[in-house]
């Protein structure tokens, strides 16, 4: 069955023209079966709801990424401070972190820890600046996984750390950062598809 629509002024239109409208306007008088008309209205309403939900989700995720950027920047600054502290005085490490076996902490180990922490700080700062860079995003996520694994192993495997506030702080920061970045990753993975659709 052919479906024809008549525009005010008597010009015919195809069904694909009507389909391109979000909702039929009063300027269109479509001559087709009432059930087809109802189906079209339901499809249009469903399309509008989907578009609104998608737009709301993208807006929420965009705001979340901005919060995540601020978090990464703050964590980067704190890490840089810890790094400088390690270079200045290695007693910081066995008084705050490796309290289980403080005799194992020396100047060389402190400087190695400081360089590792400084590198993590730089990577996280760069990710905060360019959070849409997927490669950099993954590298930053791995810095938190490595930090979490290191402190957990020192706490439960090697026994160089104890359950003090000094060790719980980096464990908490790493855990929160991993969760936040995994949530943000969903939006980051969806971005290339949406950008490709916009180009088409």
Please tell me whether residues 94 and 180 are part of one structural domain: yes
Q: Round to whole Å and give the CA distance between 18 and 21.
A: 6
pLDDT at residue number 190 = 75
Contact 160, 104 (CB under 8 A): yes
Please tell me whether residues 67 and 112 are part of one structural domain: yes
Residue 6 belongs to what H/E stretch? strand 4-7
CA distances, 137 to each of 110, 126, 156 (Å): 27, 9, 29
Query: Tens of pLDDT along the chain (200 residues)?
Result: 444 444 444 444 444 444 444 444 444 445 556 666 666 666 666 666 666 666 666 778 889 999 999 999 999 999 999 999 999 988 989 998 999 999 999 999 999 999 999 999 999 999 999 999 999 999 999 999 999 999 999 999 999 999 999 999 999 999 999 999 999 998 888 765 544 444 44
- Token pair, residue 41, equals 């209205």
Residue 30 belongs to what H/E stretch? strand 28-31
Please tell me whether residues 147 and 182 are part of one structural domain: yes
| Burial environment of residue 121 by CB neighbours within 10 A (0 to 12, 13 to 18, 19 or more) | buried
List the one residue out of 190, 62, 187, 180 whose CA is nearest residue 124.
180
pLDDT at residue number 29 = 45
pLDDT at residue number 34 = 66
Please tell me whether residues 34 and 64 are part of one structural domain: no
- Token pair, residue 51, equals 């578009």
Helix (H, G, I), strand (E, B) or coil at 158: coil
Domain residues for 39? 4-47
Please tell me whether residues 116 and 147 are part of one structural domain: yes
Please tell me whether residues 151 and 195 are part of one structural domain: yes
pLDDT at residue number 36 = 65
Please tell me whether residues 110 and 163 are part of one structural domain: yes
pLDDT at residue number 198 = 45
Please tell me whether residues 38 and 108 are part of one structural domain: no
pLDDT at residue number 170 = 95
Please tell me whether residues 33 and 88 are part of one structural domain: no
Total domains in the fold of the chain: 2
Please tell me whether residues 59 and 40 are part of one structural domain: no
Please tell me whether residues 118 and 27 are part of one structural domain: no
């Amino acid at each position: 069955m052919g479906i024809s629509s008549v525009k005010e002024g008597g010009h015919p239109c195809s069904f694909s023209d009507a389909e391109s409208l979000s909702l039929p306007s009063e300027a269109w008088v479509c001559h087709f079966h009432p059930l087809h008309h109802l189906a079209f209205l339901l499809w249009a309403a469903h399309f509008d709801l989907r578009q609104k939900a998608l737009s709301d989700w993208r807006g929420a995720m965009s705001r979340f990424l901005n919060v995540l950027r601020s978090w990464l920047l703050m964590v980067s600054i704190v890490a840089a401070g810890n790094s400088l502290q390690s270079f200045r005085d290695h007693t910081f490490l066995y008084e705050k972190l490796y309290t289980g076996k403080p005799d194992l902490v020396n100047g060389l180990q402190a400087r190695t820890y400081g360089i590792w922490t400084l590198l993590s700080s730089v990577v996280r700062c760069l990710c905060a600046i360019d959070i849409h860079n997927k490669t950099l995003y993954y590298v930053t996520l791995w810095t938190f996984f490595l930090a979490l694994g290191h402190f957990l192993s020192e706490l439960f495997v090697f026994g160089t750390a104890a359950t003090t506030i000094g060790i719980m702080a980096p464990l908490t920061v790493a855990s929160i950062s991993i969760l936040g970045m995994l949530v943000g990753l969903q939006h980051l993975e969806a971005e290339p598809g949406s950008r490709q659709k916009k180009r088409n």
